[in-house]
Amino acid sequence: MDITRVEALSQRIVQSYAWGQAVWHVWGSKKPLQVGAMTNVNLDDGHDMPRRLVLLHGGSGSWTHWLRNVEHFAQHREVWALDIPGFGDSSLPEGVTDADGLVPYIAEILKHTFHLDAVDVIGFSFGGMTAGLVAAEYPALMRQLILVGAPGLGLFGKELPMRGMTPNMDKVAQRQVHRHNLNTMMFVQPESVTEGVIDLQVANVARDRLRRRRIARTDVLAKVQARWACPVHGVWAESDALYKETLLEIPNVLSNMSSFHVVHDAGHWVMFENPQAFHAVVDPLLGQ
């Protein structure tokens, strides 16, 4: 895995808020970024600055969900990958238990970081659902939104056969559980689940403090789409396990989307399993 190398290319930004800290990793910036008083980042607003692209990861994740994408996007954009509050290195605000509770905190982060400038956002899975809720409540914050495998559409079928941990499991047994769960939900090709991917998953799951979230199985995202003011595009994997029987129903349920695209040869974690195909779909949407 390239985590150490890719992270070394980024600038790590830690912002302090009344509820805790928010942590970003930034690629493609033309100069060092400094954290200002309380929450603001000193941004160069010059005309030669590329448009900023915000990446929001999935559940039980962190910025590393975008490990195979940030360098590609940073060729044309200033890329800001957030550890969503409650995941990775960002704090969990008191009382927040699910995506809907995160909405005002994500909005606060975007407002203070980008000084109310609208930004392009790509949200994966849980991050996509959260971004869609933010776009409905705070439409001025987003210039464009790309949803990737987002839940909250009311289209889930049976529960996936995921496995849980037990207190008596040793590390070998725990890794086997992670391997099974990654194969079941995240990937279509068994060879995608390498030891490095399991290492990444172990590190991310250990920092997940929103494990009892439930609204993903509801139609919470579909209900708010009428309030979107920016263009919203959908990008789903052909073999997304969460939409095994309902993939083609997505554009009917999310009828307010500007476009809908299917990436072949990939599972739910589409931008990791098949980054080349993912970029081929997303780059035109971003105007790159």
pLDDT at 125: 98
Q: Are 74 and 10 in contact (CB under 8 A)?
A: no
Mean pLDDT for the chain overall: 93
Partnered with residue 83 across adjacent β-strands are 23
- Token pair listed for 224: 């708010």
What whole-number distance in Å separates Cα of residue 256 and Cα of residue 262? 17
pLDDT at 2: 87
Rounded to two decimals, the pTM is 0.95
Instruction: Flag whether pLDDT at 39 surpasses 60.
Output: no
Half-sphere exposure of 48 (CA within 13 A, CB side): 3
The hierarchical CATH code for the domain 3-286 is 3.40.50.1820
Partnered with residue 55 across adjacent β-strands are 81, 122
pLDDT at 40: 47
What whole-number distance in Å separates Cα of residue 233 and Cα of residue 287? 13
SS3 per-residue string spanning 10-65: CEEEEEEECCEEEEEEEECCCCCCEECCCCCEECCCCCCCCCEEEEECCCCCCHHH
What whole-number distance in Å separates Cα of residue 39 and Cα of residue 161? 42
Residue with tokens 């987003």: 142
What whole-number distance in Å separates Cα of residue 137 and Cα of residue 97? 18
List Cβ neighbours of 206 (8 Å cut-off, separation of 6 or more).
none
CA distances, 84 to each of 55, 88, 102, 113, 236 (Å):
10, 7, 9, 14, 21
Instruction: State the amino acid at position 143 in one-letter form.
Output: R
Q: Report domain extents, the chain.
A: 3-286
pLDDT at 48: 54
Residue with tokens 């910025």: 63
DSSP letter at 264 equals S
Q: Are 25 and 46 in contact (CB under 8 A)?
A: no
Calculate mean pLDDT across residues 216-241.
98
Residue with tokens 């073999």: 239
Instruction: Flag whether pLDDT at 38 surpasses 60.
Output: no
pLDDT at 29: 86
What whole-number distance in Å separates Cα of residue 130 and Cα of residue 288? 25
CA distances, 77 to each of 10, 51, 72, 99 (Å):
13, 6, 9, 27
Which one is predicted more confidently, 51 or 181?
181
Instruction: Flag whether pLDDT at 43 surpasses 80.
Output: no
